[in-house]
């Protein structure tokens, strides 16, 4: 067995070493006041942001009666209380992925999908956008009369005026740490594919991921079957 000294040493390392919070997933150091404060703030904001008691008006796009969960869709021009929730979750996602604090880094014209568990908690979020605004992008030299796309003046895109079936861009996808690899990410993408465009399910291959993380790459590869 271990002697008393060793036990004290172990306890000390536990107390002063790096810890992973099993609720919010943050890695921090006990007894480091800055770390403790940062953790406390993130922990509280995570719990508050993920708490979801429901809205009077919800755009339910999918229900899973067996486990009492549902997916709702929020559009960028919905009432402020809905879009604020999406912005708050986006902030949490950014903090977890280590992105600098910033406002919505994606287009203002988005469709967000929230996965809500039976425990009234948001366990996943996916923010999707139309990549090319419904117009097929064609190379400049092929286009007979190139029209600069006014929505994307910062991008060197030219497009035809004839609308085509657009691809979907996944700006952000995130699942609560304790609920990963149980199919929530896949359920969110299933809803994106069937509800993003009215009238028609989008093929798995037509989904693109912006700047994926290692987790995101493995997940995307599996989901799109590429």
Binding region for Zn ion (CB under 5 A): 21, 23-24, 43
Q: Is residue 219 close enough to count as binding ligand ACO by CB under 6 A?
A: yes
Q: Please report how close the Cβ of residue 155 comes to ligand ACO at its closest, in angstroms.
A: 18
Contact present, 164 and 135 (Cβ < 8 Å)? yes
SS3 of 110, please?
A: strand
Question: Taking CB within 5 to 8 Å according to partner kind, which of Zn ion, ligand ACO, none is near residue 21?
Answer: Zn ion
- Cα separation, 94 vs 96, in Å, equals 5
8 A C-beta contact, residue 11 and residue 17: no
> Is 37 or 194 the residue whose CB approaches ligand ACO more closely?
194
Q: Which of residues 170-199 bind ligand ACO (CB under 6 A)?
A: 170, 172-175, 180-186
In 3D space, the residue among 133, 88, 135, 95 whose CA is nearest the CA of residue 112 turns out to be 88
16 or 81: whose CB is closer to Zn ion? 16
Rg (CA), the chain: 21
Nearest CA among 103, 127, 107, 105 for reference residue 115: 127
**Closest separation between CB of residue 100 and ligand ACO, Å?**
16
Residues 128-151: b if buried by 16+ CB within 10 A, e if exposed = bbbbbbebebeeeeeeeeeeebeb
Report the residue number whose CB is nearest to ligand ACO. 185
Q: 15 or 182: whose CB is closer to ligand ACO?
A: 182
Nearer to ligand ACO, 92 or 159 (CB): 92
- For the bound state, the minimum distance from the C-beta of residue 48 to Zn ion, rounded and expressed in Å, comes to 13
Count of residues in contact with ligand ACO, rule CB under 6 A: 22
Strand partners, 125: 114, 174
Binding residues (CB under 6 A) for ligand ACO: these are 97, 170, 172-175, 180-186, 209-210, 212-213, 215-216, 218-219, 222
């Amino acid at each position: 067995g271990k002697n008393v000294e060793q036990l004290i040493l172990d306890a000390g390392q536990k107390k002063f070493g790096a810890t992973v919070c099993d609720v919010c997933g943050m890695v921090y150091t006990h007894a480091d006041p800055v770390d403790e404060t940062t953790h406390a703030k993130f922990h509280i904001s995570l719990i508050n942001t993920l708490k979801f008691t429901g809205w009077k008006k919800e755009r339910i796009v999918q229900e899973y009666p067996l486990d009492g969960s549902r997916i709702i869709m929020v559009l960028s021009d919905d009432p402020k209380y809905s879009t604020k929730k999406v912005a708050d979750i986006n902030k949490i996602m950014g903090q977890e992925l280590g992105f600098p604090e910033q406002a919505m880094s994606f287009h203002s014209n988005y469709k967000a999908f929230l996965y809500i568990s039976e425990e009234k908690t948001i366990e996943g979020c996916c923010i999707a956008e139309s990549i090319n605004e419904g117009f097929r992008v064609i190379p400049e030299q092929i286009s007979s009369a190139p029209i600069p796309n006014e929505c994307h003046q910062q991008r060197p895109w030219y497009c035809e005026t004839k609308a085509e079936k657009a691809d979907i861009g996944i700006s952000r996808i995130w699942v609560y740490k304790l609920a990963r690899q149980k199919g929530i990410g896949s359920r969110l993408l299933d809803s994106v594919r069937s509800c993003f465009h009215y009238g028609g399910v989008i093929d798995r291959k037509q989904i693109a991921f912006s700047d994926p993380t290692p987790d995101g790459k493995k997940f995307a590869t599996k989901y799109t079957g590429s």
